């Protein structure tokens, strides 16, 4: 595997799934690992709020170039909410106000509104969010007490179900695409019911193939040895892309940044122009390439160094 450590001279590159604790920012987790893998670069794919816990995928070394591919994969969450409360942050970290004379809500009433939030939906992010408003973060404007509006944006919710319900508390299991705010889902369901709802906890249980059970716990401080033991190869970032298995001639050409003329029969039935993961016979990632069916040509866009043995 490959990043680098000044102690070992080993170049590390790969993906590391960690279980982010509560009350820690995603950036703080990155900083904790940065000092261990220097001078390798490191970044994370998909921010988790300090309140949230669960799967945070770190990309190390050359794999930092694959962050967008990890971010684009479906994410699964378990969110817990309480009815009859509203918050300026849409979760319990904000200023929470009780709904006067809140009626008892039944599970069936809540489930009645779920179909409205499945599929491609329009969602307004929370006021306290990282959304940019005229070049400034929404949470900065909100903290200053400035008045502003956030436009609705389209997000994808693939699965949504009530997994637990005992009024006033309920739990949702959500599988969604990038950019979906779970806080907003709970808030909007609470408004549909006329009583408000506030998120009390959130766990991200999966991003693509990375799940909570296989994530590195941070109960103990990480070491270079634990990082190396849990590091996953870069190919794990692109399971959703079509794969093209290269022969030795093609590997040499791609590593030199050269375009390939390919037999389309060796590729899945894909669109005219699409991104392809070019791999070695052993399944290692060589390049992210663009496939042009009309010219039967593969053009490398990101080339990755050969993995050290």
Closest CA to 155 of 175, 184, 178: 178
pLDDT at residue 307, rounded to an integer: 58
CA dihedral 85, 90, 93, 95 (to 10 degrees): -60
Contact assessment for residue 61 and residue 41, using Cβ atoms and an 8 Å cutoff: yes
Q: Who contacts 45 (Cβ-Cβ below 8 Å, separation ≥6)?
A: 57, 58, 59, 67, 68, 70, 71, 207
Q: CA 188 to CA 94: how far, in whole Å?
A: 17
Residues in the chain: 309
pLDDT at residue 6, rounded to an integer: 40
Q: CA 163 to CA 182: how far, in whole Å?
A: 15
User: Which residues of the chain fall short of a pLDDT of 50?
Assistant: 1-9, 308-309
If you ran DSSP here, which 8-state letter would residue 266 be given?
A: G
Which residues does residue 291 pair with via DSSP β-bridges, in sequence order?
274, 298
Phi/psi for 146 (5° steps) reads -80, 150
Q: CA 217 to CA 201: how far, in whole Å?
A: 19
Phi/psi for 34 (5° steps) reads -55, -45
pTM (predicted TM-score): 0.90
Helices (H) and strands (E) in the chain, counts: 7, 19
Q: CA 266 to CA 233: how far, in whole Å?
A: 24
Residue 89 exposure: Cα atoms within 13 Å on the Cβ side: 17
First to last CA, the chain: 7
Q: Which domains does the chain have, with CATH numbers?
A: 14-73+209-236 (3.30.2350.10), 75-206 (3.30.2350.10), 241-303 (2.30.130.10)
pLDDT at residue 134, rounded to an integer: 76
Q: Who contacts 166 (Cβ-Cβ below 8 Å, separation ≥6)?
A: none
Residues with a known catalytic role: 49
pLDDT at residue 130, rounded to an integer: 79
Coil, helix or strand at residue 141: helix
Q: CA 238 to CA 250: how far, in whole Å?
A: 20
Closest CA to 32 of 181, 192, 218, 179: 218
Closest CA to 96 of 192, 183, 24, 193: 183
Q: Convert 257-291 to b/e letters by CB count within 10 Å (16 or more is b).
A: eeebebeeeebeeeeeeebbbbbbeeeebbbbbeb
pLDDT at residue 50, rounded to an integer: 94
Alpha-carbon distances of 253 from 126, 127, 227, rounded to whole Å: 48, 50, 32
pLDDT at residue 294, rounded to an integer: 79
If you ran DSSP here, which 8-state letter would residue 271 be given?
A: -
pLDDT at residue 308, rounded to an integer: 46
């Amino acid at each position: 595997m490959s990043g680098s450590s000044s102690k070992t001279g080993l170049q590390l590159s790969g993906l590391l799934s960690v279980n982010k604790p509560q009350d820690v920012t995603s950036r703080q987790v990155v900083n904790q690992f940065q000092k261990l893998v220097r001078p390798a670069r490191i970044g994370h794919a998909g921010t988790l709020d300090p309140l949230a816990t669960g799967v945070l995928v770190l990309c190390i070394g050359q794999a930092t170039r694959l962050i967008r591919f990890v971010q684009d994969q479906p994410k699964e969450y378990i969110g817990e909410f309480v009815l009859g409360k509203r918050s300026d942050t849409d979760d319990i970290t904000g200023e929470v106000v009780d709904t006067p004379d809140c009626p008892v809500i039944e599970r069936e009433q809540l489930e009645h509104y779920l179909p409205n939030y499945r599929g491609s939906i329009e969602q307004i992010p929370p006021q306290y969010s990282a959304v940019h408003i005229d070049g400034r973060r929404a949470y900065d404007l909100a903290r200053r007490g400035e008045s502003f509006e956030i436009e609705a944006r389209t997000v994808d919710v693939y699965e949504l179900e009530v997994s637990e319900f005992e009024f006033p508390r309920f739990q949702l299991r959500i599988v969604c695409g990038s950019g979906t705010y779970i806080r907003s889902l709970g808030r909007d369901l609470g408004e549909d019911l006329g009583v408000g709802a506030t998120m009390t906890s959130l766990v991200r249980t999966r991003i693509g193939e990375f799940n909570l059970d296989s994530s590195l716990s941070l109960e103990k401080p990480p070491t270079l040895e634990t990082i190396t033991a849990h590091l996953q190869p870069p190919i794990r970032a692109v399971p959703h892309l079509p794969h093209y298995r290269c022969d030795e001639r093609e590997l040499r050409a791609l590593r030199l940044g050269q375009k390939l003329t390919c037999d389309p029969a060796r590729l899945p039935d894909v669109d005219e122009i699409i991104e392809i993961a070019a791999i070695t016979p052993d399944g290692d990632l060589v390049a992210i390439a663009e496939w042009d069916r009309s010219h039967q040509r593969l053009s490398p866009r990101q080339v990755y160094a050969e993995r050290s043995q």
